[in-house]
Amino acid sequence: MAQTNSNPFLSEYNTPFGTIPFDKIKNEHYLPAFREGMRLHKLEVEVIADNQQTPTFANTIEALERAGRALNRVQSAFYNLTSAETNDTLDSIAEQIAPEQSEHSNTIFLNEKLFARVKVVYDERKKLKLTPEQNTLLENTYDAFVRSGAQLSLADKEKYKEYTKALDLAELQFGQNVLKATNNYELLVTDKAKLTGIPADILEAAQTKAKSKKKEGWLFDLSYPSYVPFMKYADNRDLRHELYLAYNTKALGGEFDNQELIKKIVTLRLQVAQLMGYKDYAAYALHKRMAENEKNVYNLLDELLKAYKPKAMSEIEDVQAFAKSKGADFQVMPWDWNYYSEKLKDEKYSVNDEQLKPYFELENVKKGVFGLATRLYGLQFKKNTEISVYHPEVEAFEVYDATGKFMAILYTDFHPRNGKRSGAWMTEFKGQWKENGVDSRPQISLVMNFSRSTSSQPALLTFDELTTFLHEFGHSLHGMLSDCNYESLSGTNVYRDFVEMPSQLMENWATEKDFLDGFAVHYKTGEKIPAELIAKIKASENFNVGYQCLRQLSFGYLDMAWHTQKEPFTGDVQAFEKKAWSKAQTLPSIQGTCMSVQFNHIFSGGYDAGYYSYKWAEVLDADVFSVFKKNGIFDANTARSFRENILSKGGSEHPMILYKRFRGQKPTIDALLIRNGIKAKH
């Protein structure tokens, strides 16, 4: 028992706001805590299943919802760290525990006595006078059992167990391979003459990176703050080509090859779906989405393709003509696109990242983004250095509303590290729920991969990084402002094609003068961002909007192609990809590159048969922001209505019901087309 007593996960946290005591947690604590959490959860579930009393909403559905908190505590800490601060030991534990967790989950969902009780309550639902939130919880619980095989024959239940156990492990290994392949590549340049065009601050960061690895020269890698500026600014076409190929062949061939894992994942998902009586995996997944079915997804993708493709092709011609005018006697290739696009944008609008970055110093941007939440929702942020964090760069904030009520803990983690996967995301260490009159508040985390400070300047963000911050912060507001009774319905626990709406909505403020004026000052001079520079940002807002839309659509088509397979996949991954997204491709296809093998979103990130949701949610966010534009971008009544009808409600009701309650009508794609300049205002 000494192990148990010394394991921080297995006793109540004696910490500020019950936050995770990261300073006391060691790698060896995870496995025993997982196993003890599963043991306790199993006991709780058995008590519910063996209850001799008539099944009720309280003693069955609510009891199941409240069960498993000890397990949730270790799961949330562990899986957030395997994304943000992993190591070989954690990766090994993840592989070890994945099949045990699959087995544990199956033991619960395939428990016949338990499902019988759930079904009794479900069959009586119309007589129970439940609140909308209780009704949603009941439907979700029943659906979870059915979708996890509760109604299958004994033989099929065994197949389901086998498939899900293998699937969980394959998805985990896919993500691990992408991270290892990303970390495995470096481009060391020792001749500065080859680095013309690259801004001084990017060069300084590359030199600092080289020194940190005891190397001479300038070190570039595949992390966002290194790769993206190199592709935008490096004059050396051969080096751009080299870096592009490295990026687009991650996890393709070699030690971390994901091709066989893709075949395995796609086939296992299909087998699960067909076991459940669906024709393919997309039909199975879309059952719990706003889109509802494949036809509606393809309708959206096709409608947007038709609207944006002429614009995209015209943009490609513009960039090609511009490149030619600058002496490029070749067809613009994918490794040329960002380079010439950036120069054309600068020529057209006289605006570029190097002009803007001095006004987007990270600490000021943080104040601006937090300040936006203050203006819209009355939130206040107070840094707390007593809260333990999982890495020295992470900060923790207490969040309060306008009345002084404690709302949440917010962790921020801004910079790339070898243990952190690429991209940006919001997650939670604990969700929000109410029980016995107590509102248990969430612990939210924002994780980014932004450029670091250097010896000569603080961390300065690009405009894209500013919008990324706003995007993820939108997710965090969905979590922090949650006001639900049940954790599984709170915060961002909504349909996948609704979850991106509050985040994408926040991006709209990035080009608004009234917002930028509040925080964007030059980090050296303190001078406010000039009005003409903001006007240029606004004017360039729709630069290459057609190309960007088709790029997103291509990912959506690729995702749907993988998940509308009707037979186990045994073909060639690269050939399949090329065909799947061909109609949305704009630049030449490069032999020997592959997106699918590094497509974390759909093969290990929960967006399977769901990547379309970024465009689905963009239609919604444009429609919502049109209300803010009409009433004022800081209008208190609009913000209050959005908070009360959408942000606070989580997944407690169907998203279309919540949306119409705020908007008064169903969304149309018109607001998006108008915002992007594809369609004229009425």
Q: What is the model's pLDDT at position 668?
A: 87
Strand pairing class (218-220; 380-383): unpaired
Distances (CA, A) of 75 to 12, 55, 80, 430, 611: 16, 29, 8, 10, 25
Both tokens of 352, joined, read 């570029």
Q: In the predicted model, what is the mean pLDDT of the chain?
A: 96
Amino acid at 587: L
Average pLDDT rounded to a whole number, residues 260-282: 98
Phi and psi (nearest 5°) for 293? -155, 170
At 632, which amino acid appears? Answer: G
Q: What is the pLDDT at residue 5? A: 62
pLDDT tens-digit series, residues 367-418: 999 999 999 999 999 999 999 999 999 999 999 999 999 999 999 999 999 9
pLDDT value of position 681: 79
With residue 452 as reference, give the H or E element that holds it: none
Domains and CATH numbers, the chain: 2-151 (1.10.1370.40), 185-247 (no CATH), 357-539+614-675 (1.10.1370.40)
pLDDT tens string 408-432: 999 999 999 999 999 999 999 999 9
Q: How far apart are CA 275 and CA 278, in angstroms?
A: 7
pLDDT at 1: 33
Q: Which residues pair with 361 in a beta bridge?
A: 460
Query: What is the arithmetic mean of pLDDT over 535-554?
Result: 96
Provide the pLDDT confidence category of residue 614 given band limits of 50, 70 and 90.
very high
Residue 2 has pLDDT above 60, yes or no: no
Rounded average pLDDT over 301-319: 97
Tell me, what's the pLDDT at 682?
66
As a whole-number percent, the residues of the chain with pLDDT over 90 amount to 97
Each residue's pLDDT tens digit, 38-91: 999 999 999 999 999 999 999 999 999 999 999 999 999 999 999 999 999 999
Whole-structure pTM value: 0.95
Centroid of chain to Cα 654: 21
Task: Provide the pLDDT for residue 573.
Answer: 98
Residues 428-446 have pLDDT tens digits of 999 999 999 999 999 999 9
pLDDT per residue as tens digits for the range 555-605 = 999 999 999 999 999 999 999 999 999 999 999 999 999 999 999 999 999
- Show Cβ contacts of residue 52 under 8 Å, excluding neighbours closer than 6 positions: none
* pLDDT over 50 (residue 4): no
Whole-number Å distance between alpha carbons of 628 and 505: 10
d(CA 162, CA 501): 36
Distance (Å, whole) CA 361 – CA 458:
7
Strand pairing report for 425-430 and 443-447: antiparallel
Residue 662 has pLDDT above 90, yes or no: yes
Instruction: Give alpha helix (H) positions in 290-406.
Output: 294-325, 334-349, 353-356, 362-377
In this predicted model, what pLDDT tens digit does every residue of 222-257 receive, in sequence order? 999 999 999 999 999 999 999 999 999 999 999 999
Are 169 and 97 in contact by the 8 Å Cβ rule? The answer is no
Residue 3 confidence class, pLDDT cut points 50, 70, 90 = very low
- One of 171, 472, 487, 512 is an active-site residue; which one? 472
472 carries an active-site annotation:
yes
Q: Distance between CA atoms of 600 and 182, rounded to whole angstroms?
A: 12
Does residue 30 register a pLDDT over 70? yes
Q: 152-184 pLDDT, tens per residue?
A: 999 999 999 999 999 999 999 999 999 999 999
